[in-house]
Structure 1
Amino acid sequence: MSIAPDRPTIFLSSTVHDFSDLRSALKDYLEARGCRVLASEFTDFTRPLDKHSYDACLETIEQADLFVLFIGRRVGGWFDEPAKISITREEYRHAYKLAERSKIKILCFVRSEVFDHRQSVRDLEKALKADPALSVEQRHRLANHPTMAMDNAEAIISFIDEVTRNGETIAASKGLATAPIANWISPFTTFTQVRQAVDPLIAHGLTVSQAAGRKALEVQVVQLLQGVAPLINGSAMNPVNTVLKIRRELDIKAEQLTATIKVPEKLWSQLVFAATLATDGGVDPSPLLGALGSDLLLQYDPASGSYHQTEEYRLLARVVDQARKLARSAGMDGAELFKHGRAAEPDGTRHVPAHMLISWIDRMLRWVDLIGSARALAASLGGQPLELPPAVPQSPIIDQEQQLQAEAPTEEQIRAFVAGQQ
């Protein structure tokens, strides 16, 4: 059973008494993110009247996509007291059998002080063993005496060892057995450590409203792309390489602003084709502005108590900026450019005013930058890894690019200016 992307089901396994606050907090956190949480102390847990509570818990595990185990200082109720198997340990064993058949995923945690105390018990056992005045029974009783860290060291340490499966791992390394699965166990001290481990398994830890907001934004970005991305040979494309090639081959210099540029026939055909595509459709970034004014794509930093921009937020700002610039040039008259096609020399060369070429190349640069940025953002919002698109030149004039970059202040410089540091 794989974790359903729409509503994963999580079973919380632990002793209830010493994990009640954590279980309650985790249940609230997970349910706010659209999960169904199975925790035996809550009223929404299935309680069949014709079965023992232990049997009901074991059967309920089979409804889950993710089994989350917490090991603490208490053993809890015994499932098999002579064998020292607690109900929590039996729940884990039941889940492990399901995991071996790929029916569930297992995530195991142990309180850090409990995990560390395990080694203290072993060190004490070695020290006691060196005392010939103590019997085996006395050494065992002293080493496993109840403490604030463990109420039954023998049972709890045995449980941790079963989860880590070091013996099976060693045997597998020698070719004597198959390597065990799900043998990770994470010591923890804070809820944040638990949340960070669980988040990737439950739709990245988004609340229902956040997930809905991201989906709505994804739809809006896709709709914007429908208005600007050209359809070439039956597929939506980003002709960024064609536009950059045109800019590179025209190689307009700043000193040529009032000149007439000779455009070879082949390059002219590419220019007209790209310019025609760039004039199609309309672009309206206004539906995206709401997301820029929200915390949807921001990341909260507990250390500073403030929100920081994510790469997705910066990408959205780039989409809005390029869309606005492209919209401002929507009134450009393509006929003015295309009329030069009727004034070709015998070899197909066209003579086109530099300022006209500059205007159209600038529009096409904004166009392909918008397509690339919107595509990357829509893919990330849809759950794919974020891959930033290549930077598109800001100027249609090649020898001005470095100058523009040198003269434009960086975000860090602006923030230092705002803070009065410069």
Structure 2
Amino acid sequence: MRNELIYLVLIFGLLVVPRALQRFKIPAPLTCLLFGVGAMLAWGDQSHDPLVGWLATLGISSLFLFAGLEVDPAQLRKGLWPLLAHLGIRTVTLSVAAWLAWRYLDLDWRPATLLALALLTPSTGFILDTLERLGLDEAERFWVTSKAIAGELFALIVLFVVLQANDPVHLGLSSLALVAMIVGLPLIFIALGRWVVPHAPGSEFSLLVMVGLVAAFATAKLGVYYLVGAFVAGLIARLLRIRMPRLASTQNLHAVRLFATFFVPFYFFNSGTKVPEGALSWEALGMGLALTAAVLPFRIGTIWLQRRFMFGEDHASSLRVSISLAPTLIFTLVLAGILRDRFALSDALFGALLLYTTLTTILPSLVMRAPFDVDPMDVRRKPAAHPEDAIKSDHANGAAKDSRPAS
């Protein structure tokens, strides 16, 4: 009974309290992460619960399954050349950041590259969840979405190669296994659609989620991370949309987002419980502030310059797109964990990455008048009006009514 009560309190604390605190411009994922850090400080290793770990895996896998489902090849082709230019610049900045980490932080090239990815890769899933509430127009939302997805695809490829690069034979075998999975997943989806779905109407969601989880664990066994397989499964389901329209239908997208919304808070909480005490030091604070002061303006300025001078956008629109791409929460947390577990990253640098991703994640909610939210219910609605705008609208409507001639 005691364990059941603890789990009930935990679920309430992760699903309700962070939402309530969003009125103070505190992103819900960061609140969950802080709850995890608090649990670590209070109970130490006892806060590492296997059940919470499984729920966290479900959260990160379902989130990247949804991210794969959100990829629209037609939209990416529409902005192909600007996106290629963006990825070219991203490759240069990643190389420079990796070289700086190798040169001045005394890291091998593999952890240096992963550190650069952690600093420069936007968190696509969470960025997509905020777009409808950041006051962006249609063109700005298109470019934020396209750049975030293209950057995520690029980062996943680099992550896969770098994690296997120490063993060329293993890299080759893993690549073959990944290709086999890419070829096999469409066949699995088609087989399920032919032999299971006709006899179990409405089962598309559960089959999609289960295939995504199997793919996630398959890539984990290959030595990369869960998110690679989940993303690939979502992407393939999206590519099969014409042949199997119900698999990646709007209803299924909505359902997967709901599923991820429930489990993702456990991922952030679980990540918080794994933060070492050494990461909460003055040295980590200083390094985190230095990283943020150096990297964040550089990231925003680079994208601003692209939009401003390469594509002729105005100053304000370029800045809104740049700031909307600032959050790095998921990729930074994932890569910081990999760096700590596989490459013995120092506690101070780990803590610096946590502070950096906290500041980048909270930035849009502070400067763009809308809280950072991962509520899936509002994904298709128009951006919520700012209270001052609503007051002005009410006054305008009242004035219009008063000006009408009496009937």
| Structure with bigger RCO (C-alpha 8 Å, 6+ apart) | 2
Would you tell me which structure has more helix in proportion to its own residues?
A: 2
Q: Same fold (TM over 0.5)?
A: no
What interval of TM-score do these two structures reach, taking the shorter chain for normalisation?
under 0.3
For the pair shown, which has the larger CA radius of gyration, 1 or 2? 1
